[in-house]
Amino acid sequence: IGVVHRRLGHYDLALDHYNRSLKIKLKSLPGQHPDIAMTYLNMGVVYAYKNELEQALIYMKRAQTIYEVALPFNHPDIVKIKDDVNRVEDNF
């Protein structure tokens, strides 16, 4: 639901749904689970769209930390998150 709201430009609603999802995932999954990282990444993307780059970096770096622990070093999600973080830092 968060992705749909993000694509429609309803950023605050997207963040609300991502926060709800995150709370559920944090209660039911191990802290270093890739699904938690994906939610952090999605939240970071929304903050980037809102031009709240500091918040975007916070959430993207949380996602990156989890991915680097949970996934093999050459996993495509690690490559993508590094690119996403670099892109936001370049616009900061």
Domain ranges of the chain: 2-91
d(CA 58, CA 55): 5
| CATH class held by domain 2-91 | mainly alpha
pTM reported for the whole predicted model: 0.93
Q: What are the pLDDT digits (tens) for 37-62? A: 999 999 999 999 999 999 999 999 99
Residues 6+ apart with CB under 8 A from 44: 55, 56, 57, 58, 59, 60, 62, 63, 84, 88
**Quick one: pLDDT at residue 49?**
96
Q: Is 52 left (phi over 0), alpha (psi -120 to 50) or beta?
A: beta
pLDDT at 51: 96
Residue 10, pLDDT > 90, answer yes
CA nearest neighbour of 69 among 32, 40, 37, 35: 32
Which pLDDT value is given to residue 16? 98
Q: What percent of the chain has pLDDT over 70?
A: 100
